[in-house]
Amino acid sequence: MKINADHIINKIHGCLMGVACGDAMGMPTSMMSSDAVKKLFPDGVDDFYDAPVGHSIHNGYKAGTVTDDTQQTLMVAEAIIEDGQVNPTKIAQKILQWAERVNAFDTPMLGPSSLRALQAIQNGEDIERAGSFGDTNGASMRISPVGIFSAGDIERTVENVALACLPTHNTNIAIAGASAIACAIGTAITSKSSIKTIIKLALEASDKGMSKGTPWLGASIRKRTELALQYIEQEFEQNKVIQYLYDVIGTSTATTETVPTALAIVAYCNGDPVKTIKFAATLGGDADTIGAIAGGISGAISGISAFPIAYIDLIERVNRLDLNSYARRLADMIIEKAEATQWR
């Protein structure tokens, strides 16, 4: 089966741009309450803005600046590109080197699971143990390169996600959530599946992911996602959907809130990345991470062509990421294998 390389690059580039745009647009409202977002943006977030003065994490960030969500995602991508596989040791090294380079340990930049695990690794802890308590959304936020590399195969996706999660998020909840996101992205890139099918397969991957890692307590990702989807099937007014997701499904750093909310946003916005990232930024809570995750999925569904040129130019000018280069290198890794198989 001959694969259209340009099409795959377009989809992967869209995924990575969705991560970066969702991250950057959600940066100013990250960790704000719903009421605080409404006060600052009464008509919703509709563009990229500077972080508000005194922001608890991103003070001084200019409009279009990405956060650790995108930066860690690219560290995972580099590890996969350099090793040709998902190597947990390489991923740990890349993320630790990045954290030291940007002085992440002396800022509120890192999430609780990553901070604890990376400090343990710094102090000589084996990566087999370092991530045994990591249950938050840091794994899901940076998992898109694993989804791209795994190309929508559920079994392969879950195995690779478990490897990627080992250093910092080696719990069943974190692996399950990251498996759902990775599978959604891989399926969107390699198939013409409907959004309903993409989410169905994502939840199958999540169920399989629950058998991996350290057993941990938490709500069901599947059931919370299904609850969110049931609501958006009945309610079409965006402000009501936003408030429901914030109040009921949740927008905290918990994987069991972030993943169901992100999947629901993708469904509600029908895979449109621009609508998706504006919606996520207006939510409040962990808006940059939810935006990065939902934006990555929607970007994979719609491709880079769905993004305004102004968005792409701003992200690249402010952050100098060269996402197209990452997309091409990741595409090169999967196309040869794909031509020997039958993608859905």
Q: What is the pLDDT of residues 137-171, one digit of tens each?
A: 999 999 999 999 999 999 999 999 999 999 999 99
Residue 316 lies in a domain: yes
Residue 343 lies in a domain: no
DSSP letters spanning 159-210 = HHHHHHHTTT--BHHHHHHHHHHHHHHHHHHH----HHHHHHHHHHHHHHHT
Phi, psi angle pair for 144, to nearest 5°: -55, -40
Mean pLDDT of the chain: 93
Q: By the 8 A CB rule, do 209 and 162 touch? A: yes
Q: What is the pLDDT of residues 224-276, one digit of tens each?
A: 999 999 999 998 899 999 999 999 999 999 999 999 999 999 999 999 999 99
Confidence at residue 124, expressed as pLDDT on a 0 to 100 scale:
77
Residue 193 has pLDDT above 60, yes or no: yes
Residue 3 lies in a domain: no
Confidence at residue 2, expressed as pLDDT on a 0 to 100 scale:
63
Per the structure, the count of domains in the chain is: 1
- Per the DSSP assignment, residues forming a β-bridge with 214 are 171
Residue 169 lies in a domain: yes
Question: Domain containing 79 — which CATH number?
Answer: 1.10.4080.10
Residue 60 has pLDDT above 60, yes or no: yes
Residue 1 lies in a domain: no
Residue 344 has pLDDT above 70, yes or no: no
Beta-carbon contacts of residue 97 (< 8 Å; ≥ 6 apart): 75
Identify the band that residue 216 occupies on the pLDDT scale cut at 50, 70 and 90.
very high
Phi, psi angle pair for 214, to nearest 5°: -75, 130
Residue 28 lies in a domain: yes
336 vs 11, 15, 149, 323, CA distance in Å? 16, 20, 12, 21
Q: Can you tell me the mean pLDDT for 43-55?
A: 95
Least confident of 46-60, 195-209, 263-277: 46-60
- What is the reported pTM? 0.95
- Domain extent for 184: 13-337
Residue 5 lies in a domain: no
Residue 255 lies in a domain: yes
Residue 336 has pLDDT above 90, yes or no: no
Residue 340 has pLDDT above 60, yes or no: no
Confidence at residue 111, expressed as pLDDT on a 0 to 100 scale:
76
Q: Can you tell me the mean pLDDT for 271-285?
A: 97
Confidence at residue 339, expressed as pLDDT on a 0 to 100 scale:
62
The 3-state DSSP class for residue 266 equals helix
CA-nearest of 219, 150, 140 to 174 is: 140
More confident residue, 333 or 278: 278
